[in-house]
Structure 1
């Protein structure tokens, strides 16, 4: 799963990488957590001025997908990730896979290596691309409407089986969309879900590097650059318990919800 990530890139780099037309300078965010707003990219309605590439737009959505048919969000689990292997057919994600595919820009994501020994400590890692400052994860978006008519845009990150580099840490990783595939992934008008299924696969080995970091990332109140400082990797992990442990899929973190 992907339960924490960072976005540190400047607006000019994001605009160039994603061909955005409406992005102002975003703040550096070192510890983005579920239920917080995240920056996502959607397809625009026309070709970008002065370019042969389609226009794309940036917007903020709540990280925590909510299907439109949900009546009470308090009775529905927090869906921060969607499994690529089942998203096409799963009721929660079927409509979004067909109509609302998005990109989620990131500088990297955090993952934990959890030991088999319950008495050992977990090791946190910041997993970032070896080349370049930005990576784009595949995502899905849905607008949830409450009974009073208010609306909230929500999103989830698609995950797939980990490649060999990441498998020693965790068995899942975010789906990475290459720049040459951005247009095909975002094109929900002519590209059916089955036609982009080939993009939802593990990125090749060597794309990411894993930097061991401290367990500060487990607390949403830790939002400074110090959480990216490398630490000595734990050779014999110990169990991580208590408030510092990262949130599990379906578990709400200790922070305010938009609902």
Structure 2
């Protein structure tokens, strides 16, 4: 699963990595949690520049936690902040989104927790070994509330963890490679079966797992110190009330 992640890249870096234009400035975020706004990259037609066959892409915000369009009572559904890539095309909650609204979710890395066997867990900051930005494979759905307002929502697709991460957790976010962005975002001519091979497990050695303090468990903690290495013996304190996957209020960064 993926219950927390981080995005600390500057807008200019995102523009270059995703071929975007005009990404608004925003602060670095070190502890992004479900129900909070997250940045999405979506396709928006074809480029008008001569000789270019890349799709236009634009950035937008959405609530992390997908609400299917057919939902009558969102409170009656479980939190859809993750979707299993192997079954998303078959599930009622995700099958429309994976066919028509595939997105990229920029990230600097993600957090995962490993059970220690004593009813505690050790938090890890999992980041690209060489640094930089990664693109999670995601799904988007726009939910129309009974009062008429609309809210854009999203989920992160997950896949089996790579061998060097599996000892921490058996699932991890789907990573879409830059050379596959065009195919992934093309929901007009490519069906889910055409992009199923893109939802693969990253190669071993791409990520490194850094043990960090359990302060990341609490959403209110949101500083860069959350990603500082802390040896496991010193990292575990008494459990906090807020569990991974829970979130505070919805705020725009």
Ranges in structure 2 where 5+ consecutive residues have no aligned partner: none
SS at match of 1:157: strand
Dislocated runs of 4+, deviation >6 Å = 237-240
Counting only pairs closer than 5 Å after superposition, residues 66-215 of structure 1 correspond to structure 2 as 66-118=67-119, 121-215=120-214
Any conservation in 1 of the 2:217–2:240 contact (CA below 8 Å)? no
Residue 157 of structure 1: CA displacement? 0.2
Residue 241 of structure 1: CA displacement? 3.6
Q: Which residue of 2 aligns with 1:65?
A: 66
The worse-fitting range, judged by mean Cα deviation, of 126-135 and 155-164 is: 126-135
TM-score (norm 2): 0.93
Q: Which residue of 2 aligns with 1:2?
A: 2
Residue 76 of structure 1: CA displacement? 1.4
Q: Which residue of 2 aligns with 1:19?
A: 19
Tell me which of 235, 244, 250 is aligned to 1:246: 244
Counting only pairs closer than 5 Å after superposition, residues 14-53 of structure 1 correspond to structure 2 as 14-47=14-47, 49=49, 52=52, 53=54
Residue 22 of structure 1: CA displacement? 3.0
Any conservation in 2 of the 1:48–1:54 contact (CA below 8 Å)? no
Q: Which residue of 1 aligns with 2:222?
A: 223
Residue 240 of structure 1: CA displacement? 6.5
Any conservation in 2 of the 1:21–1:48 contact (CA below 8 Å)? no
Residue 130 of structure 1: CA displacement? 1.2
C-alpha distance in structure 1 between counterparts of 2:146 and 2:230, whole Å: 48
TM-score (norm 1): 0.91
SS at match of 1:12: helix
C-alpha distance in structure 1 between counterparts of 2:236 and 2:2, whole Å: 21
Per-residue CA distance 1:227-257 (angstroms, 9 max, x = gap) = 111111349x97974415323xxxxx25235
Q: How many residues align?
A: 250
CA RMSD of aligned residues (A): 1.9
Any conservation in 2 of the 1:138–1:158 contact (CA below 8 Å)? yes
